[in-house]
Amino acid sequence: MDELNSQKESTCRGTSVAAYLQPVTGLYKSVKLGWKWRRLKWAVAAASEAAQGHEANGVRPGSQEFKTLYNDVAKKAQEYAHESGDPIDTLKAKLPSLCAVERLANPDPVMPQNRLGLTLGIVIAAVLGSVGTGALIGLATGMAHWIAHLFA
Protein backbone atom coordinates (compact mmCIF):
# COMPACT_ATOMS: atom_id res chain seq x y z
CA MET A 1 0.00 0.00 0.00
CA ASP A 2 2.87 2.35 0.76
CA GLU A 3 4.27 1.55 -2.62
CA LEU A 4 1.19 2.91 -4.36
CA ASN A 5 1.24 6.13 -2.35
CA SER A 6 4.89 6.73 -2.98
CA GLN A 7 4.41 6.11 -6.69
CA LYS A 8 1.63 8.73 -6.85
CA GLU A 9 3.80 11.26 -5.06
CA SER A 10 6.57 10.84 -7.58
CA THR A 11 4.28 11.45 -10.56
CA CYS A 12 2.58 14.44 -8.99
CA ARG A 13 5.73 16.23 -7.91
CA GLY A 14 6.83 17.30 -11.38
CA THR A 15 3.51 18.78 -12.42
CA SER A 16 2.00 22.04 -11.34
CA VAL A 17 -1.54 22.98 -10.45
CA ALA A 18 -1.90 24.87 -13.77
CA ALA A 19 -1.29 21.62 -15.65
CA TYR A 20 -4.20 20.01 -13.85
CA LEU A 21 -6.47 22.99 -14.47
CA GLN A 22 -5.56 23.47 -18.14
CA PRO A 23 -8.53 21.49 -19.53
CA VAL A 24 -10.87 23.35 -17.18
CA THR A 25 -9.52 26.79 -18.12
CA GLY A 26 -9.74 25.91 -21.81
CA LEU A 27 -13.38 24.92 -21.34
CA TYR A 28 -14.02 28.11 -19.37
CA LYS A 29 -12.48 30.27 -22.10
CA SER A 30 -14.50 28.44 -24.74
CA VAL A 31 -17.77 28.95 -22.87
CA LYS A 32 -16.91 32.58 -22.12
CA LEU A 33 -16.08 33.23 -25.78
CA GLY A 34 -19.33 31.54 -26.82
CA TRP A 35 -21.34 33.85 -24.59
CA LYS A 36 -19.49 36.89 -25.91
CA TRP A 37 -20.25 35.74 -29.48
CA ARG A 38 -23.95 35.45 -28.63
CA ARG A 39 -23.95 38.88 -27.00
CA LEU A 40 -22.28 40.34 -30.09
CA LYS A 41 -24.86 38.71 -32.38
CA TRP A 42 -27.68 40.04 -30.21
CA ALA A 43 -26.17 43.54 -30.19
CA VAL A 44 -25.76 43.52 -33.98
CA ALA A 45 -29.33 42.24 -34.44
CA ALA A 46 -30.69 44.96 -32.12
CA ALA A 47 -28.71 47.66 -33.94
CA SER A 48 -29.89 46.36 -37.31
CA GLU A 49 -33.49 46.40 -36.14
CA ALA A 50 -33.12 49.94 -34.81
CA ALA A 51 -31.50 51.03 -38.07
CA GLN A 52 -34.41 49.58 -40.05
CA GLY A 53 -36.80 51.53 -37.85
CA HIS A 54 -34.88 54.76 -38.42
CA GLU A 55 -34.78 54.06 -42.15
CA ALA A 56 -38.56 53.47 -42.19
CA ASN A 57 -39.07 56.79 -40.41
CA GLY A 58 -37.18 58.61 -43.14
CA VAL A 59 -33.84 59.20 -41.43
CA ARG A 60 -31.22 59.73 -44.13
CA PRO A 61 -28.17 57.44 -44.36
CA GLY A 62 -25.10 58.98 -42.77
CA SER A 63 -27.06 60.71 -40.02
CA GLN A 64 -25.97 60.76 -36.39
CA GLU A 65 -28.42 58.01 -35.38
CA PHE A 66 -26.81 55.48 -37.73
CA LYS A 67 -23.30 56.55 -36.75
CA THR A 68 -24.08 56.09 -33.06
CA LEU A 69 -25.51 52.62 -33.68
CA TYR A 70 -22.53 51.59 -35.79
CA ASN A 71 -19.92 52.95 -33.35
CA ASP A 72 -21.51 51.02 -30.49
CA VAL A 73 -21.61 47.74 -32.40
CA ALA A 74 -18.16 48.26 -33.96
CA LYS A 75 -16.64 48.72 -30.50
CA LYS A 76 -18.17 45.43 -29.33
CA ALA A 77 -17.03 43.65 -32.50
CA GLN A 78 -13.49 45.00 -32.04
CA GLU A 79 -13.41 43.74 -28.45
CA TYR A 80 -14.60 40.30 -29.54
CA ALA A 81 -12.08 40.20 -32.39
CA HIS A 82 -9.30 41.04 -29.94
CA GLU A 83 -10.32 38.30 -27.50
CA SER A 84 -11.04 35.60 -30.06
CA GLY A 85 -8.17 36.38 -32.40
CA ASP A 86 -10.49 36.53 -35.42
CA PRO A 87 -9.89 39.38 -37.87
CA ILE A 88 -12.64 41.98 -38.12
CA ASP A 89 -13.23 41.04 -41.78
CA THR A 90 -14.15 37.52 -40.69
CA LEU A 91 -16.68 38.93 -38.24
CA LYS A 92 -18.17 41.09 -40.98
CA ALA A 93 -18.49 37.99 -43.16
CA LYS A 94 -20.21 36.08 -40.35
CA LEU A 95 -22.47 39.02 -39.41
CA PRO A 96 -23.90 40.62 -42.58
CA SER A 97 -26.09 42.91 -40.47
CA LEU A 98 -22.90 44.57 -39.23
CA CYS A 99 -22.07 45.50 -42.82
CA ALA A 100 -25.60 46.82 -43.38
CA VAL A 101 -25.38 49.10 -40.33
CA GLU A 102 -21.93 50.25 -41.49
CA ARG A 103 -23.30 51.14 -44.95
CA LEU A 104 -26.07 53.18 -43.35
CA ALA A 105 -23.61 54.96 -41.05
CA ASN A 106 -21.04 55.62 -43.78
CA PRO A 107 -22.84 55.75 -47.13
CA ASP A 108 -20.95 56.06 -50.39
CA PRO A 109 -20.64 59.70 -51.43
CA VAL A 110 -23.21 60.61 -54.06
CA MET A 111 -21.79 62.53 -56.97
CA PRO A 112 -24.16 65.18 -58.30
CA GLN A 113 -25.14 64.53 -61.89
CA ASN A 114 -23.81 67.12 -64.31
CA ARG A 115 -26.81 68.23 -66.32
CA LEU A 116 -25.13 71.22 -67.94
CA GLY A 117 -24.32 69.25 -71.08
CA LEU A 118 -27.89 68.00 -71.41
CA THR A 119 -29.35 71.48 -70.89
CA LEU A 120 -26.92 73.05 -73.34
CA GLY A 121 -27.72 70.37 -75.94
CA ILE A 122 -31.46 70.99 -75.63
CA VAL A 123 -31.04 74.77 -76.01
CA ILE A 124 -28.80 74.39 -79.08
CA ALA A 125 -31.20 71.87 -80.65
CA ALA A 126 -34.14 74.23 -80.06
CA VAL A 127 -32.37 77.21 -81.63
CA LEU A 128 -31.07 75.25 -84.63
CA GLY A 129 -34.42 73.51 -85.02
CA SER A 130 -36.35 76.78 -85.16
CA VAL A 131 -33.82 78.35 -87.57
CA GLY A 132 -33.92 75.26 -89.78
CA THR A 133 -37.71 75.16 -89.74
CA GLY A 134 -37.88 78.88 -90.67
CA ALA A 135 -35.43 78.36 -93.51
CA LEU A 136 -37.45 75.44 -94.87
CA ILE A 137 -40.68 77.43 -94.66
CA GLY A 138 -39.01 80.35 -96.44
CA LEU A 139 -37.70 78.09 -99.20
CA ALA A 140 -41.07 76.44 -99.66
CA THR A 141 -42.83 79.82 -99.87
CA GLY A 142 -40.27 81.14 -102.32
CA MET A 143 -40.57 78.03 -104.48
CA ALA A 144 -44.36 78.24 -104.46
CA HIS A 145 -44.17 81.91 -105.45
CA TRP A 146 -41.69 81.10 -108.27
CA ILE A 147 -43.88 78.26 -109.56
CA ALA A 148 -46.93 80.56 -109.48
CA HIS A 149 -45.09 83.18 -111.62
CA LEU A 150 -43.87 80.46 -113.95
CA PHE A 151 -47.36 79.39 -114.97
CA ALA A 152 -49.03 82.78 -114.83
Same domain? For 152 and 93 the reply is no
Same domain? For 125 and 78 the reply is no
Higher pLDDT, 45 or 9: 45
Which pLDDT value is given to residue 34? 87
d(CA 102, CA 69): 9
Same domain? For 65 and 89 the reply is yes
pLDDT per residue as tens digits for the range 37-83: 999 999 999 999 999 999 999 999 989 999 999 999 999 999 999 98
d(CA 47, CA 97): 8
- What mean pLDDT do residues 2-20 have? 52
Same domain? For 26 and 101 the reply is yes
Residue 146 lies in a domain: yes
d(CA 51, CA 54): 5
Residue 10 lies in a domain: no
Which pLDDT value is given to residue 70? 94
Same domain? For 79 and 119 the reply is no
Which pLDDT value is given to residue 68? 93
Which pLDDT value is given to residue 8? 47
Same domain? For 24 and 73 the reply is yes
Same domain? For 132 and 84 the reply is no
Same domain? For 122 and 61 the reply is no
pLDDT per residue as tens digits for the range 92-108: 899 999 999 999 998 88
Same domain? For 115 and 42 the reply is no
Q: Are 47 and 97 in contact (CB under 8 A)?
A: yes
Residue 91 lies in a domain: yes
Residue 131 lies in a domain: yes
Same domain? For 25 and 98 the reply is yes
Residue 43 lies in a domain: yes
- The model's pTM: 0.56
Same domain? For 83 and 120 the reply is no
14: pLDDT strictly greater than 90: no
Task: Note down the domain range covering 26.
Answer: 20-105
Our count of domains for the chain comes to 2
149: pLDDT strictly greater than 50: yes
Same domain? For 130 and 144 the reply is yes
The backbone torsions φ and ψ at residue 124, rounded to the nearest 5 degrees and listed phi first, read -65, -40
